A and B are shown apart, each in its own frame.
Chain A
């Protein structure tokens, strides 16, 4: 009986293909939006999480100025190399300290040139980034101390300047300074915000300061704590030391900030999750609107088919049999919409994920939930029209033209 009702519903829906499609469009859009939002959101979260592990779990970074709303950072005093040395010397539980300055400069090799993000730092930088060279070597501590202009280049820079050739031993010109390439970095791909992390050149900080930037300042100090060390304690020790070195009186606010990378990533993940949920909720509203569309058309359909209902009631359909017929019709409609919506949503999510270069992760729970929810919408909004059909007076219904 249910199977026959199902067949009947499919046949009735197919009889009016265009109208049926327009009816379920609301559901299609609702489900597609929910699926797309949540899938892309999950991808973004997964990417952030994977980046956390690739950056090393125990990374802190110190910056001049207060981060956060309304805090002027440009006016704050910069760090110097001496600050980084002091942290390394005085704070316990530290694996590596890397002072970092950055500047966008043009690099040239032969006839090829490219503008890259140039990083001035020390030999510990690769440790803090959990990074390494794929060929050649890192520059040494003594090269860094001496301010020798040697450099490491990223995979993108290698491709742009040398093609597939081995760059180690070649010389590139960085802002007119000849700079031998001593190592090629392992390919890392894009960062969370979509910048190419392989489009970079790394050189000793002293060389960077003296010959490129012409300053003695340090933008950021990266601090990598040893495994098993409480990063909170390291953070507090670094803050105390920096306050002392910068002569900040007790009670005055810091004019710098030290952040734990993990906290930052957790905050970002939490934000992404909230955003995903919020967008999903907005999308869910359109599902309800879609349900109202179905109710509307089902009511029209009941009116149009009053005579048919009258015939069915007169020749032996029980109230619940007519109710089931119309309810099944509404549910088949909404499930059909849900199915199209899921496919559309997944394609949309796939395209968006490719575009934003986040992983495409399908959450079967959300797909199942969207499908179940569209069925629920069908039942909820199909019930009223179905009951109206079932309660028709067969005598009146048969007279209906």
Chain B
């Protein structure tokens, strides 16, 4: 096995909240490496530290101790704006609750990350249309979230996450609010993005069925990595 720089690397990452007796160790010395192109499922009971790990990977949170290397570069000490620039340059987010802006069209929702990157209006429109087409929503550009089904809303959210062409897609229970059939469609879409576009996907899930779409499953327990196994791919 050749040494390749992992896309995500945790070196003794700890995250503690509070002080003294009230101290909570959400993460307690985690070492982890995720290579570019992987499709990783993160599992674990609530309070196991998986959400904290996701927040740190997503540069929404910073570790109390340890070092986080993104594509070989330490990002632990970055300030808020620097982390935001990192996020909008290299990361895409998909949430359980979709988190689309209400009363705002699908097109505009997808354009939003581009607006903050300062992309011009014409280019934005084109990129957003392309992203929406990629997730199978052509013709629905002007629908507002409330006029779309849950699956369609999650597709809009995925389009928003990939419109900036990110290296890493972070999905926090992307199928948590969806029925089985829609969940499988969404997972198929994520798998396509992983295999065809080479986007690294890290996904939190509770469901083994969903985790089965990933190549690798990392289980957290009490702030540490409990197990890290290659997954037999779903048929």
Main secondary structure of the interface of A (DSSP, over half): helix
Task: Indicate if A311 sits at the interface (CB-CB under 8 A).
Answer: yes
Q: Are the C-beta atoms of A315 and B60 separated by less than 8 Å?
A: no
A350 to B102 CA separation, bound complex (whole angstroms):
45
Q: Are the C-beta atoms of B93 and A15 separated by less than 8 Å?
A: no
Q: Mark A381-401, 1 if CB is under 8 A from B, else 0.
A: 000000000000011001000
Task: Indicate if B99 sits at the interface (CB-CB under 8 A).
Answer: yes
Could you say which of A119-127, A257-265, A317-325, A351-359 contacts chain B?
A317-325
Across-interface contacts of A320 in B (CB, < 8 A): 81
Q: Are the C-beta atoms of B55 and A313 separated by less than 8 Å?
A: no
Task: Indicate if B115 sits at the interface (CB-CB under 8 A).
Answer: yes
Q: Are the C-beta atoms of A319 and B160 separated by less than 8 Å?
A: no
Across-interface contacts of A310 in B (CB, < 8 A): 99
Task: Indicate if B11 sits at the interface (CB-CB under 8 A).
Answer: no
Across-interface contacts of B121 in A (CB, < 8 A): 4
- Identify the closest chain B residue to A401 (Cβ): B97
- Identify the closest chain B residue to A8 (Cβ): B115
Task: Indicate if B36 sits at the interface (CB-CB under 8 A).
Answer: no
Q: Are the C-beta atoms of A315 and B81 separated by less than 8 Å?
A: no
Task: Indicate if B80 sits at the interface (CB-CB under 8 A).
Answer: yes
A398 to B115 CA separation, bound complex (whole angstroms):
20
Task: Indicate if A63 sits at the interface (CB-CB under 8 A).
Answer: no
Smallest CB–CB gap between B63 and chain A, Å?
14
A400 to B95 CA separation, bound complex (whole angstroms):
14
Q: Are the C-beta atoms of A316 and B99 separated by less than 8 Å?
A: no
Across-interface contacts of A319 in B (CB, < 8 A): 80-81, 84
- Identify the closest chain A residue to B114 (Cβ): A316
Q: Mark B72-99, 1 if CB is under 8 A from A, else 0.
A: 0000000011001101100001010001
User: How many residues on chain A are close to B (CB under 8 Å)?
Assistant: 20
Q: Mark A214-240, 1 if CB is under 8 A from B, else 0.
A: 000000000000000000000000000
Task: Indicate if A314 sits at the interface (CB-CB under 8 A).
Answer: yes
Q: With A314-B87, A315-B160, A319-B80 in contact, do A15 and B103 touch (Cβ < 8 Å)?
A: yes
Q: Are the C-beta atoms of B113 and A395 separated by less than 8 Å?
A: no
- Identify the closest chain B residue to A3 (Cβ): B121
A35 to B93 CA separation, bound complex (whole angstroms):
51
Across-interface contacts of A398 in B (CB, < 8 A): 95, 99
Across-interface contacts of B93 in A (CB, < 8 A): 314-315
A273 to B230 CA separation, bound complex (whole angstroms):
86
Smallest CB–CB gap between A270 and chain B, Å?
56
Nearest 4 CB-CB pairings of A with B: A316-B88, A316-B116, A315-B113, A316-B113
Given contact pairs A316-B87, A319-B80, a sample of 11 additional A-B residue pairs in the complex whose CB atoms are under 8 Å apart: A4-B115, A308-B102, A310-B99, A311-B101, A313-B84, A315-B116, A316-B84, A316-B117, A318-B85, A318-B116, A394-B60
Interface residue ranges, A against B (CB under 8 Å)? 1, 4, 15, 307-308, 310-321, 394-395, 398
Interface residue ranges, B against A (CB under 8 Å)? 55, 58, 60-61, 80-81, 84-85, 87-88, 93, 95, 99-103, 112-113, 115-118, 121, 160, 164
